[in-house]
Structures are given as structure tokens and as C-alpha cells.
């Protein structure tokens, strides 16, 4: 009698994958593979050995062609791309050299939403004149042929230069509503924006200091433990997997997570072209520290609902990032 079990056993296969963060690697064709480990792994191309639904990392691999992915053009600045709609999004270079400030480029949109560097494009006179204005600290008023993507990249490069001089952190998402005035007026407008952000951050730090944070977090944890959510989570899933599911459902991409204590998990994720860091409960995903200014309402949101709060803050031009 034929033993059909031997036909059910498949040999492990080796494939090239793209790793962007979290626990998942992506093979072309839409195939997502769960990595056995991703600790310390930088975004890039790798070869993995596939066993069932899991994948074991073998080594780095040569980059695959991105031609099958939708292409978008824009201008580079400080790790971001100024897009045609005048917004800024993070760029994954995947080991490629960093382009020059304000350089035009083509990027490809991965199914996860990540923007991948494809190739540099030829510069024209607007890029040359914009770079001269950037070095001189001027705005772009009077420069002809400036596209929305170049204006956005110019505003970010200008604001980041001023922020470095002042020793102040600045994320592109905090710049969103100020792009037009910084592009027009240059460093003076960037200084005004940083004055506003510094004041709001100081107010947020004062608010946090006034409340007994340790006692508040302990009370939040006790309330979270008593909610049905704590009993409903599948016990077989680890904290990072729970966080990944919640963020994916909200349209965000998990980049990594680490334990800060037995009842706290730090989660790093990408949403709307920006990176965020939040501290949550590892099982209930109740938010202890949103990583953005919520005026004392951190405990009222969960990791699932936090991206929608971030989206609204960006659209209203009031986003202040407090944890990096």
C-alpha cells in the first residue's frame, strides 16, 4: 500500500524577501512570511528558508527589481520624500546611499504602504536654485518652476537645519501645516515653528510632572485588567503579535517592540509616512504613554484607536510628538 504521507512533506525552499520591520517579511507576489526572529534586523533584502508558514533568516540578498510596484516621483530631504501632493513621507533606502538634499527621485509604493527608493532622476534649474536658497537660509519666493514636492522637501531641510542648530528634535509630521510658510520665508518661519513646538512641549512636560505618573499608570493598569478586553485576547499570541495585528487593522506598520517591564511594552510603528513610539500594556494594548500630546487623555485610547487620533492631529496641524 502506498504511503501518501511522504507526498505531504515538502522540502524547505529558499526565497528572497523584503524586511521592513516587525515580524513579517515580504516575498514578491504578495506572499507574507512570519520570521522566526527579527531581533536587530535592519530593513533590507534577505534570503530566508521557508518552513510551512514560518521563515528562517539566512543572509542578506541582492536587491530585487521594484518595477512591478507603483511608482511615484518626489524630492529627497532628511530621510523623507516630498510628494506631489506637498506631503512628506519616510523613504526606505534599503542600504542605498543617501541622495543629496532636494534631489529628485523615483520611489515605489510597497503593498504595506512603505515608500522604497528606486532611482535618482536628473536635476533641473529649480532644484539648483532651491539648493542655493537652502544654503543661504532664504525662502523660495521668486524661484520659478518649484513643484509641491520640492517645496515640501525644502521646508523640511530648512526646518531640520534650524532644529539641529537649536538642539531641538523635529519630525516631518509636526511640520505639515507649516510647509507653505517655511517654503516661502525660509529660516525665519522655521524659527517661529520651533518656538511654537518648544512651548507646547514644555507645557506637556509640566502637565506630566504635575500628576503623579507612577500612581496614574498603576491605576490605569488595574482598570485595564478589569476590562473584558484583557480576558478576550487569545493567550497564544505574544505581545508583539498582538501589537502587529492591532496596528495593521488601523493601517499602520509595526517596526518593532520591546519590553520595558512586566506590564509595559514599547511599540515602534509607522503611520502616514511618519514613525511613532508608544508605551502600552502588553496584553490589553491599553495606552500608558501615547508618545504624542493628548492633553492628559492617554489612558482613554488603545493601540487600535491611536492611529486615528494621530491622523486627526496631523490634519488639524496640532501634532506634538513627545516620545522618540
| pLDDT digits (tens), the chain, 324 positions | 555 444 445 567 888 888 888 888 888 777 888 888 777 788 888 888 888 778 888 888 888 888 888 999 999 999 999 998 889 999 999 888 999 999 999 999 988 889 999 999 999 999 999 999 999 999 998 889 999 999 999 999 999 999 999 999 999 999 888 999 999 999 999 999 999 999 988 888 777 766 555 555 455 556 555 555 544 444 578 899 999 999 999 999 999 999 988 889 999 999 998 999 999 999 999 998 888 887 666 667 889 989 988 888 888 888 888 887
What ranges in the chain are assigned the alpha helix state H?
5-8, 125-136, 148-166, 179-185, 187-210, 213-225, 228-232, 239-249, 306-316
Asked if residue 37 is part of any domain, the answer here is yes
Query: Strand 31-35 to strand 54-60: parallel, antiparallel, or no bridges (unpaired)?
Result: parallel
Asked if residue 324 is part of any domain, the answer here is no
What is the pTM assigned to this prediction? 0.76
Listed residue (229, 250, 268, 244) closest to 305, CA to CA: 250
Same domain, residue pair 189 and 219: no
Same domain, residue pair 85 and 157: yes
Same domain, residue pair 164 and 246: no
d(CA 240, CA 249) in angstroms, rounded, equals 14
Asked if residue 258 is part of any domain, the answer here is yes
Asked if residue 96 is part of any domain, the answer here is yes
Q: What is the layout of strands, in order, in the sheet containing 287-289?
A: 253-261, 264-271, 274-280, 287-289
End position of a domain, from candidates 160, 185, 203 = 203
Same domain, residue pair 169 and 103: yes
Same domain, residue pair 174 and 103: yes
What total number of domains does the chain contain?
A: 3
Asked if residue 167 is part of any domain, the answer here is yes
Asked if residue 6 is part of any domain, the answer here is no
- Paired with 280 in beta bridges are 265, 287
Domain extent, residue 197, equals 71-203
Residue 276, SS3 per DSSP: strand
Grid cell in block for residue 149: 514636492
Same domain, residue pair 46 and 90: no
Same domain, residue pair 172 and 221: no
Amino acid at each position: 500500500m502506498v504511503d501518501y504521507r511522504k507526498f505531504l512533506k515538502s522540502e524547505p525552499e529558499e526565497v528572497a524577501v523584503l524586511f521592513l520591520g516587525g515580524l513579517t517579511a515580504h516575498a514578491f507576489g504578495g506572499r507574507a512570511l512570519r520570521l522566526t526572529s527579527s531581533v536587530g534586523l535592519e530593513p533590507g533584502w534577505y534570503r530566508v528558508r521557508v518552513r510551512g508558514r514560518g521563515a528562517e533568516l539566512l543572509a542578506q540578498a541582492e536587491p530585487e527589481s521594484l518595477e512591478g510596484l507603483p511608482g511615484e516621483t518626489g524630492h529627497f530631504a532628511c530621510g523623507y520624500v516630498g510628494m506631489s501632493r506637498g506631503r512628506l513621507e519616510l523613504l526606505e533606502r534599503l542600504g542605498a546611499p543617501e541622495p543629496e538634499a532636494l534631489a529628485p527621485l523615483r520611489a515605489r509604493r510597497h503593498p504595506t504602504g512603505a515608500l522604497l527608493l528606486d532611482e535618482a532622476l536628473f536635476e533641473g534649474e529649480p532644484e539648483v536654485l532651491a539648493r542655493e536658497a537652502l544654503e543661504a537660509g532664504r525662502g523660495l519666493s521668486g524661484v520659478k518652476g518649484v513643484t509641491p514636492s520640492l517645496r515640501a522637501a525644502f521646508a523640511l531641510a530648512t526646518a531640520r537645519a534650524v532644529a539641529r542648530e537649536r538642539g531641538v528634535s523635529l519630525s516631518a509630521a509636526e511640520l505639515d501645516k507649516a510647509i507653505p510658510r517655511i517654503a516661502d520665508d525660509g529660516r525665519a518661519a522655521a524659527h517661529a515653528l520651533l518656538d511654537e513646538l518648544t512651548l507646547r512641549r514644555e507645557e506637556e512636560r509640566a502637565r506630566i510632572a504635575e500628576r503623579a505618573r507612577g500612581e496614574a499608570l498603576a491605576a490605569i493598569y488595574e482598570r485595564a485588567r478589569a476590562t473584558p478586553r484583557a480576558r478576550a485576547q487569545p493567550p497564544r499570541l505574544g505581545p508583539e503579535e498582538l501589537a502587529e495585528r492591532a496596528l495593521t487593522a488601523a493601517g499602520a506598520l509595526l517596526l518593532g517592540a520591546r519590553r520595558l517591564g512586566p506590564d509595559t511594552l514599547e511599540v515602534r510603528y509607522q503611520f502616514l509616512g511618519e514613525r511613532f513610539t508608544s508605551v502600552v500594556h502588553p496584553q490589553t494594548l491599553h495606552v500608558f504613554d501615547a508618545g504624542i500630546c493628548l492633553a492628559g487623555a492617554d489612558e482613554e485610547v488603545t493601540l487600535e484607536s491611536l492611529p486615528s487620533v494621530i491622523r486627526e492631529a496631523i490634519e488639524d496641524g496640532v501634532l506634538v510628538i513627545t516620545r522618540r
